[in-house]
Amino acid sequence: MNSKQLRRSLKIKWLTYYRDNREWIDKLGIWVTSNGQRRPSSGFILGALATLEPDLTNLLPLVVDLSSNPDRIISALGLDISPVKELEALEAAHKLLSSSAQAEVSLAAPEPVTIDASTPSPPAYDDEACSGAGGREDDRPRP
């Protein structure tokens, strides 16, 4: 996964987590204002994401060696955003799009794909009794 994909994945996972848990997160005293954006503290975001994204868990030790400032890490990951404003913007964009394009903007997980696991019907021929076709036995070179 490249850094752009990781940032996008983290943003989607963070916003989904925030949306699903907003009721109790909003009540916590963890809110800060950073670069004009009101958001939960960097430590809270990193802690939540460490449980949501296995790739981040492998990457965090290296990142922390480079910078132990959680605010700088959040900024580098593109998460120095207001989750409230981001969700409102996504919701507004979602309403403006046609129904076919709405799935691309949605934060919801895609519907699981189910495969019909019925047993296949047996072949109409006996594969074990393969004897060749068209009298080609005579075409084979003989030693």
59-105 pLDDT, tens digit each: 888 888 888 899 999 998 999 999 999 999 888 887 887 555 555 55
**Stretch 25-30: mean pLDDT, rounded?**
91
Torsion sign, CA atoms 97, 91, 77, 14: negative
At residue 14, the pLDDT reads 94
Instruction: Please tell me which of 4-8, 53-57, 95-99 the model is most confident about, judged by mean pLDDT.
Output: 4-8
Rounded CA-CA distance 80/24 in Å is: 20
Instruction: Name which residue leads in pLDDT, 140 or 47.
Output: 47
Nearest to 34 by CA among 66, 7, 64, 74: 74
At residue 126, the pLDDT reads 53
**Angstrom distances, CA of residue 13 to CA of 56, 97, 99:** 12, 22, 23
Rounded CA-CA distance 80/36 in Å is: 10
Look at residue 48 and tell me whether its pLDDT is greater than 90. yes
Percent of the chain at pLDDT exceeding 90 = 35
Per-residue pLDDT band for 119 (boundaries 50, 70, 90) equals: very low
Structure tokens at 39: 């958001």
